[in-house]
Amino acid sequence: MGRRHMSGSEGARARPGALGPLGRALRGLFDDVRKGRASFDTIRERFVSGSRLDGPHLCILIVAMLIASVGLNTDSTEAVIGAMLICPLMGSVLAISYSVATMDRRLLRDAILGLMVQVVICLATSALYFVVSPLSNQTNELVANSSPTVWDILVALAGGFAGGLGNSRRQEPATLIAGVAVATALMPPLCAAGYGIAARDLVTFLPALYEFVINVVFISLAAEVVLVLLRVPLLRDLNGDGVVTAEESHEATRRSRRMKARLAVATLLLAVPAVFVSSNVVRDTMTQNDGSVFQKTDQFGVGVTTRELSVICPDLVSYRVGVERESAPGSKAVTERTVATVTTHEDVPAGLKTQMEALIRIHAPHLDSVRFVVS
């Protein structure tokens, strides 16, 4: 028996070093993070206080939404950033993360309800602005904030982690939270969704609202992970009588695990459309003409050449330069040819083709060929 006990004790001592230096380094890192945290009461106050709705909170929300609407309507990046800095939506998002991490159902219900109220106010404000605005064109800012991709998810995760970590420190996190608000951009997609309502444009409304939702979900998820790593305690007093029984403690743990498992599955499903859109963006960026031509416009003076060609050929539609990759049948060798493609509305006379090719080769002397195409 003594020998078996000695073996078990030795095994217990061996396990902490089972991961080697990397495991010890990670353990030391998380220990440092925990040592620098604020008290659990302070963490709760910071995460929860920003979700409380009152008159000043809603006034600031409406003002921020108007600024964001003007910024998106006039393509003003400065106005959009200013709106994100004063936007109070982040408070409700962080409160949701805290309620999930601690299994506080009442707080979760109140935080979600508060966020929904703010979303409705933001959509109404934005839609009303775009209804009365004389500028009805869809700007670059509107397009950019209604195009959800996997990169938005990555930014939301990083921003949520930074926000959760900053809110848990002993020092005040005001500057860090402002940076997180700008990086994660909660308000602009909501503003773009309001434009979609005003313009009755589902193609803008649905992607913009989806981008807002994935921002909220993944910011909350990352901040919740921080709280779990910091071992913020669960709310185990389920009936609110001030006494925690063993049964309540066990039930709180069981509910927490079940909720987090369900949220993990739902979060993965939510990310699927963004991953699909991102794959299309990458494919469209990387390839042209069924994947045979990869654009290399920067090194061939395409912009300058296009302007010069349009002067001598008013029928010019487009001009681009790319690299074609070909392989001979039965051979693995791949040959590359740099090809310029000139697209026009009508067939170009031979004399004008010669003149245009000479102009093209001034900016791109090493082209293998120049191709003329009629659209």
pLDDT digits 0-9 by tens, 60-119: 999 999 999 999 999 888 888 888 888 889 889 999 999 999 888 889 999 999 999 999
> Residue 285 pLDDT > 80, yes or no?
no
Under DSSP, is residue 141 helix (H, G, I), strand (E, B) or coil? helix
> Residue 128 pLDDT > 90, yes or no?
yes
- Give residues with Cβ within 8 angstroms of 207, minimum separation 6: 146, 147, 148
State the pLDDT at residue 183: 76
Tokens standing for residue 38: 């604020």
Q: 352, 326 in Cβ contact below 8 A?
A: no
Tokens standing for residue 154: 């990555």
Alpha-carbon gap, residue 157 to 165, rounded angstroms: 12
Q: Are strands 316-327 and 293-295 parallel, antiparallel or unpaired?
A: antiparallel
State the pLDDT at residue 229: 87
Chain center to CA of 179:
15
Mean pLDDT for the stretch of residues 22-31: 63
**pTM more than 0.75:** no
Mean pLDDT for the stretch of residues 214-239: 87
Alpha-carbon gap, residue 222 to 156, rounded angstroms: 8
Alpha-carbon gap, residue 246 to 252, rounded angstroms: 10
Q: Give the range among 25-34, 124-133, 155-164, 355-364 with minimum mean pLDDT.
A: 25-34
CB atoms within 10 A of CB 305: 23
> In this prediction, what percent of the chain has a pLDDT beyond 70?
82
Nearest alpha-carbon partner for 130 in 118, 140, 138: 138
Q: Are strands 316-327 and 369-374 parallel, antiparallel or unpaired?
A: unpaired
State the pLDDT at residue 126: 95
> Residue 294 pLDDT > 50, yes or no?
no
Of 189 and 284, which is predicted with more confidence? 189
**Each residue's pLDDT tens digit, 343-364:** 999 898 988 999 899 889 888 8
In the block, tokens 């159902």 appear at 105
- Give residues with Cβ within 8 angstroms of 67, minimum separation 6: 79, 80, 82, 83, 86
H or E segment to which residue 172 belongs: none
**Structure confidence at residue 314 as a pLDDT band (50, 70, 90):** confident
- State how far the alpha carbon of 130 is from the alpha carbons of 12, 74, 170, 194, 208, in Å: 66, 11, 43, 8, 15
- State how far the alpha carbon of 268 is from the alpha carbons of 93, 153, 262, 327, in Å: 19, 11, 10, 41
Alpha-carbon gap, residue 90 to 312, rounded angstroms: 55
CB burial class (10 A; 0-12, 13-18, 19+) of residue 186?
A: buried
Q: If you write DSSP's letter for every residue of 83-134 in order, what string do you get?
A: HHHH--HHHHHHHHHHHHHHT-HHHHHHHHHHHHHHHHHHHHHHHHHHHH-S
In the block, tokens 């040959």 appear at 335
Which domains, and CATH codes, for the chain? Answer: 27-237+244-286 (1.20.1080), 293-374 (3.30.300)
State the pLDDT at residue 175: 67
